[in-house]
Amino acid sequence: MRIRIDDIKDEGLTLDFAEDATAFPELAEVSAAGDCEFPAPVKTRLRAFQVRGMVEVEGQVETTLRQSCGRCLEEYEETLSASFALTYTRELPEVEEDSGDEVEISAEEMGLILFEGEEIDLREAVQEQVIMALPLQPLCGPECKGLCPQCGANLNESECGCGPPDFSIKFAALKGFKVDKEKNK
Ligand SMILES: [Zn+2]
Ligand SMILES: [Zn+2]
């Protein structure tokens, strides 16, 4: 997953990659932990340009995630996709304050990524896009009804007949509380 700087012509360079998730150390780790799987390759399409000695990379990454729904616990698959724009540079530009003093600003603070030599390795950047696209709360769908708190049935598949939880006991208790308060007056 490398861009050769010499291959970037004036009109830019378009590249496509498709690699198994196991080729990305952190994705391999996440799936080895058993929380989720990546059944499809990680596909990356990007364009690279040289701009004032820096390399601009615009891309899109897409893969498939399989994991268990946090509500109904069924396994489901969803497509993950993310767009990204990154700027790579061999050396940081010098920054002067208004006073004319030079200031030290890190690559990260400038939104730049440092690289050396004649190639840019994109593996880590692409991996980071996938990690950031992982859902915090996995849901098989926005309409997922989850499991019945009483019998554990999957309410997406059938009505279990338990009906809504019985609040009447709580209401009765509240009424009783009010009565007691009035008595104390
Ligand atoms: Zn669900
Ligand atoms: Zn039930």
Distance 67 CA to ligand 1 centre (A): 11
DSSP symbols for 134-178: S-SS--S-TT---B-TTT--BTTT---S--S---HHHHHHHHHHH
Distance 151 CA to ligand 2 centre (A): 4
Residues lining ion ligand 2 (Cβ < 5 A) are 148, 150-151, 153, 160, 162
pLDDT digits (tens, 9 = 90+) for 17-71: 999 999 999 999 999 888 899 999 999 999 999 998 899 999 999 999 999 999 9
Distance 101 CA to ligand 2 centre (A): 70
Q: What is the pTM assigned to this prediction?
A: 0.77
pLDDT digits (tens, 9 = 90+) for 152-178: 999 999 989 887 766 665 555 666 555
Ligand at minimal distance from the CA of 158 is: 2
- Asked whether 155 and 162 are in contact (CB, 8 A), the reply is no
- Asked whether 57 and 85 are in contact (CB, 8 A), the reply is yes
Tokens 């596909």 belong to: 43
- Asked whether 123 and 24 are in contact (CB, 8 A), the reply is yes
Ligand at minimal distance from the CA of 165 is: 2
Beta bridge partners of 147: 154
Distance 76 CA to ligand 1 centre (A): 8
CB atoms under 10 Å from CB of 154, counted, come to 17
* Pairwise CA distance, residues 65 & 172, whole Å: 48
Distance 126 CA to ligand 1 centre (A): 28
Distance 13 CA to ligand 1 centre (A): 42
